[in-house]
Amino acid sequence: MVSDKPIEDEKVDALVEAARLSASCNNNQPWRLVLVRGKAALDTFKTSLSRGNAWATRAPMIIAVAARVSDDCDLSDNRHYFLFSTGLAIGQLELRATELGLIAHPIAGFDPLKAKEILGIPQDHVVITYVICGYPGTDDSLLSDKQKAIEPVRPIRKPSGENFFLDKWGSPYPFKDSAPAPQI
């Protein structure tokens, strides 16, 4: 859960810096981030959240993450790197947020066409994710009953043999992974 406590400007700058320094194919840096922080802008932008993400309406900042295929390497056999490079940058931002005591929660539950209209994002860009940013909170009143039930425990991951292989596709990597994902 996220609280409505404002995030200090220096911490927002640190998040930007973490993403800015991320690796990308040919250093193309295809990511475009709109940091929505102003009250009026946020109120309007939050109307594009899906109902299941009502919990995110408390956040003091939401980052809209967009990119387009032509801004990054586009190589043989469907290797469209713009999504990968952008995902890496957001991964760096998430790690930095965690270091700073913040939540940076990516979501796919939003209306991308509305996001483009509200923020003026060009049509040829894909709005890949929103990152819900803020300090952790304890008020769960905006969660559905289902969300309240799953929130306290991190969901179980697939057994590693299903998606980690040794030497050949389909040969399970023998990782000793009976442990659940650690609680944070």
Kindly tell me which of 5 and 154 has the beta carbon lying closer to ligand FMN.
154
- Name beta bridge partners: 64: 34, 130
Asked if 170 interacts with ligand FMN (CB under 6 A), we say no
Report residue 82 as tokens. 């713009």
Selected range binding ligand FMN among 6-14, 57-65, 100-108, 133-141, rule: CB under 6 A: 100-108
25 contacts 73 by C-beta, under 8 angstroms? yes
Count interface residues toward ligand FMN (CB under 6 A).
Answer: 9
Q: How far is the CB of 181 from ligand FMN (least distance, A)?
A: 5
Q: How far is the CB of 167 from ligand FMN (least distance, A)?
A: 29
Selected range binding ligand FMN among 7-15, 76-84, 107-115, 138-146, rule: CB under 6 A: 107-115
- Name beta bridge partners: 127: 66
Q: At what angle do helices 9-20 and 81-99 cross, to 10 degrees?
A: 140
Q: Supply the DSSP symbol for 128.
A: E
**Cβ-proximal residue to ligand FMN, closest one:** 109
Q: How far is the CB of 109 from ligand FMN (least distance, A)?
A: 3
133 contacts 63 by C-beta, under 8 angstroms? yes
43 contacts 58 by C-beta, under 8 angstroms? no
> Footprint of ligand FMN on this chain (CB under 6 A)?
53, 106-109, 129, 154-155, 181
